Structure 1
């Protein structure tokens, strides 16, 4: 990738850690909830990004990436080129289990990549989260388990 990102045009520094979400409105709400004095650093292409100081006193970036794997992959790659080191994706998902309720948090054990982006990036290899990050998040979640990434939303 080129040194100059094409979709993310930051007007201020980013944090080395970020929360990612598809919806720009959700990015704004999270920035207002989780950081003090969040500053918008990107609004190019409707990809709203904010950096502020989190409760632990460290900078936190919150960024929207639009809908779907291709858009998320573009934004994540560009953020990594800008210095991002850790990211957690927050957002919507469907479920095949009646035991899940709206608003519950799921900590992902592994992902079945049934979409084009996952297959292009990792082939048929298993997609698993960072073990240390997963162990830190597991106690916060209502459920954990296997998820599927697919091209179709409905």
Structure 2
């Protein structure tokens, strides 16, 4: 038996002001998208904005439904929209912001597992890492250089091709 150690390296910015200008601008678009989220049940709003290689910006926000599994997270709304409108254009970076109608979200909120899987597959298909930036309403912003920093043990095409 041997142990497998997995490490992720993330960068933490204390405020939005520390971000490069283009990233801060993208995060502001994520914040605006968050404000338009449809979250009547959880009262938890998430906005995502992504920048494509061609310069296009695509936004998404969470969309809830009384039948909870029928809703969709902000990150997947943005990614699926990008794939529908701009197929085969790599995503350079994604900004994510979360808030609540009932409490102040001050810690950075990373994407859920389903979103990480969707982002990983987009990264894998287009053979380019996606820079991820995520935050709460205010405060620190966390950067991952790739989805693999958040999902180090991946399940993708290679896994299925080896079965």
Question: If the TM-score is normalised by the length of the shorter chain, which range does it land in?
Answer: under 0.3
Q: TM-score, length-normalised on structure 1?
A: 0.28
Structure having the higher strand fraction is 1
